[in-house]
Amino acid sequence: MQKIRTLIVDDEEMLRNGIARLLTGCGEEWEVVATLSDGKEALDYLSGSEEGIDLLITDVKMPEMDGLTLITEGKKLHSFRALVISGYDEFRYVQTALREGAIDYLLKPIDREEFRKRLAEIRTSIMAERLKDKRWSEMEHTSEKLKATRQIQLLSYVTSAGLDISRLGYWVEEFPKGLYIMLHVSLDTPSAAAGSYTSKDWAAYGYVLENMISEVADTYSGQLNGCSWCWRGGDSNYWVLLYLGKPNTEENEPPNTVIKELSRRIRSSVSAYTPFTVSVACGSPIEDLYLLPDAKEQAEILLHYRLLHGGDRLYGADELRMGVWPAGDMLEEPFVQLSVRLRQAVEQVNDAEAAELSRTFFELLGKESSPQAIRQIVKNVYILIHSAGIEREGIPVTAALEKGLQRLNQASRLPELKEEIDVRVKELIHLLREARKSGSMEVIELAKAWISAHLHDELTIKAIADYVHMNPSYFCRHFKAQTGQTLLDYITGLRMTKAKELLSNPNLKLYDISTQIGYQDVKYFSRLFKQTVGETPSKYREQLQ
């Protein structure tokens, strides 16, 4: 039974001890936490108490601090009921006591039966409030569970292939605003012993893995003052969405650090408690959940590199750049840049640019002396290019990719490798061009014009989609399908182009330039400018001058 914690305050020792005996004689539910001699001493007790009290029994007239002041100041620290006892039978004291929050007023000498009657009433009131609080807490807990379940259902629907997410409306309003990271967790190829597992075994392991990944993500997100959602994407695939709070806050952990640590914890837990290993893939952090399908696609693309480099590891943006490409190759950076530009040319259905980039790429590759490194580099670029058609081919992506990689393994000369890449590039451009014939560019042009006119505002996907009267989720997909760019990349590119123009004016401060292109945080603008242009705004301005 939860006791009724009571604090007794009176400057007469005999009286406060007598009240304590009377109170404990009223039943085992009553507990005297302290008997103190004045209001100042009692206020100090309340200030240092974490649990607080349920009932304060206090005299009115006391040295240091009177009982009425004690009630007023004490209620700033804790919530409790107050019973005032005094020898002063004056109405103004009764008035003041009731106004300051006392629930009753008793005169000295205390009538024992009257005291017990008052305590019984107080006990009934406290128990009723506790029951109400308990039921309210249970209702809140149930509501939170239902909300979390609804959110996971939404996320599962949004990330499911082939479903019409345009019917979901403004679904992101179910979630807090801020920075998100999406991880794709996939079971690696099981050992030969797994061949003896029954369907019940696999079902049990699937349940265990989902709960394990969810628990690890919840624990880690809690340490970061964030939250997470976990759901199953297929027989051996799981998704984790991590919320990190407001973006660009100095005290927040850097997203790359968060990705690496969460990946490590998930992989360690799975390998320690199951006979399996998992690989984790993660694209760029997002600040708008309407970009969730893009984050999902990035993670799926990165996970394809497992075909080349094996399981039980993290495939993230940094890992793709620094770990997947052959280590120690002096030509690593140009290969990365050319590969990314080649994929962009495919997405933008630019035949001429794609052909020129392929020619430059293989000319550079011809200077590489290691046959093993050459084949590895070509496989990497093949996976990257292949990802441009990930949602449009209507065939199993992994199966098609594996066949392509097998053909690259069988090629014995550099021209054969180039031919395989060029054929794939032409196929993808044809597929994309055909897909775009059925779509309208009119909406895209309207959106682009509106974005240009509002570049200085805080642009949101919802605001842009509302202007062209489209569902935000559908508009994001339509924009990328028609332009080969994500909406965010397009806006960032437009803003950086405008920033370059403004930097040519030496009279404009960086803050002025930042706000004119829609960034209120100069540090964030500078970091984004360097990521996009390769130089800080100040360095770029120096070079212009």
What's the pLDDT tens digit per position in 71-106?
889 988 988 988 888 776 655 666 666 666 666 777
DSSP string, 437-453: HTS-SHHHHHHHHHHHH
The per-residue pLDDT for 248 is 57
- Write b or e for each residue in 437-469: b if 16 or more Cβ atoms lie within 10 A of its Cβ, otherwise e: eeeeeebbeebbeebeeebeeebebbebbebbe
Of 180-184, 257-261, 483-487, where does mean pLDDT reach its minimum? 483-487
Do the beta carbons of residue 79 and residue 52 sit within 8 Å? yes
Report whether pLDDT(55) > 60: yes
Rounded to the nearest 5 percent, the helix, strand and coil shares of the chain are 60, 10, 30
- CB of 233 closer than 8 Å to CB of 283: no
Q: Which residues contact 251 (CB under 8 A, 6 or more apart)?
A: none
pLDDT bracket for residue 164 (50, 70, 90):
low
Region 525-545: mean pLDDT is 84
Q: What is the mean pLDDT of residues 299-318?
A: 84
Q: Which of 295, 289, 286 is nearest to 170 (CA)?
A: 289
Separation between Cα atoms, residue 87 and residue 335, nearest integer Å: 92
| Mean pLDDT confidence for 362-369 | 85
Q: Which range among 19-28, 29-38, 332-341, 363-372 shows the weakest confidence by mean pLDDT? A: 332-341
Structure tokens at 20: 């304590």
pLDDT over 90 for what percent of the chain?
18
Query: How big is the CA angle at 388 (ends 498 and 345), to the nearest 5 degrees?
Result: 50
- pLDDT recorded at residue 243: 93
Structure tokens at 249: 């806050």
- Mapped onto helix, strand or coil, the DSSP state of residue 170 is coil
| Distances 183 to 23, 131, 233, 235, 307 between C-alpha atoms, Å | 59, 42, 12, 16, 18
The answer to whether the CB of 318 falls within 8 A of the CB of 256 is yes
> Looking at residues 379-391, what average pLDDT do you find?
77
Between 478 and 227, the more confident residue is 227
Q: What is the mean pLDDT of residues 42-48?
A: 90
Q: Using alpha carbons, select from 380, 383, 182, 186 the residue that is nearest to residue 283.
A: 182
pLDDT per position as a tens digit, 464-479: 888 888 888 888 878 8
- How many CA atoms, within 13 angstroms, populate the side-chain half-sphere of residue 138? 6
d(CA 183, CA 230): 10
Long-range contacts of 529-536 (CB under 8 A, 24+ apart): 529/496, 529/499, 532/492, 532/493, 532/496, 533/496, 533/500
DSSP at 191: P
Percent of the chain with pLDDT over 70: 87
Tens of pLDDT, residue by residue over 118-127, are 888 888 888 8
Give 78-120 as a DSSP string: ---EEEEEES---HHHHHHHHHTTEEEEEESSPPHHHHHHHHH
With bands split at pLDDT 50, 70 and 90, how would you rate the model's confidence at 331? very low
Whether residue 216 has pLDDT greater than 60 = yes
CB 303 within 8 A of CB 186: yes
The per-residue pLDDT for range 406-415, each reduced to its tens digit, is 888 888 888 8
d(C-alpha 480, C-alpha 522), whole Å = 28
Task: Name the pairing type of β-strands 237-243 and 278-282.
Answer: unpaired
For residue 483, pLDDT beyond 50: yes
The CATH number of 159-324, from 1.10.540.10, 3.30.70.270, 3.90.1150.10, 1.10.1840.10, is: 3.30.70.270
Strands (E), 157-297: 180-187, 227-232, 237-243, 278-282
Buried b (16+ CB within 10 A) or exposed e, 214-240: bebbbebbeebebbbbbbbbeebebbb
The pairing of strands 278-282 and 180-187 is antiparallel
Strands 278-282 and 314-316: parallel
Q: Does the structure show a pLDDT above 50 at 327? A: no
pLDDT at 197 over 70: yes
Hey, what CATH topology would domain 442-544 get?
Answer: Arc Repressor Mutant, subunit A (1.10.10)
In which element (H, E) is residue 36 found? strand 30-36
Question: Where do the structural domains in the chain lie, given as residue ranges?
Answer: 4-132, 159-324, 325-438, 442-544
Structural contact between residues 226 and 243, judged by C-beta atoms closer than 8 angstroms: yes
Give the whole-angstrom CA distance, residue 111 versus residue 123. 18
Please report the pLDDT score of residue 293 as a whole number.
84
Higher pLDDT, residue 233 or 369: 233
- The b/e string for 490-514 (b: 16+ C-beta within 10 A; e otherwise) is bbbebbbebbbebbeeeeeebeebb
Fold classification of 4-132 is Rossmann fold (3.40.50)
> Cα(461)–Cα(483) distance, rounded to whole angstroms?
16
Q: Is the pLDDT of residue 270 over 70?
A: yes
pLDDT beyond 90 at 268: yes
pLDDT for the residue 323: 40
Q: Which amino acid, 533?
A: V
Where is mean pLDDT largest: 6-20, 82-96, 308-322, 462-476?
Answer: 6-20
Q: Given a cut of 50, is residue 230 above it in pLDDT?
A: yes
The highest-confidence range among 61-70, 194-203, 386-395, 496-505, by mean pLDDT, is: 496-505
Residue 51: is it exposed, middle or buried by C-beta count within 10 angstroms (0-12/13-18/19+)? exposed
Q: Is 540 helix (H, G, I), strand (E, B) or coil?
A: helix
What's the whole-number average pLDDT of the chain? Answer: 83
Rounded distance between C-alpha atoms, residue 219 and residue 228, angstroms: 9
**Best mean pLDDT range from 157-161, 230-234, 278-282, 389-393:** 278-282
Q: Is the pLDDT of residue 263 over 90?
A: yes
pLDDT category of residue 356 using cuts at 50, 70 and 90: very high
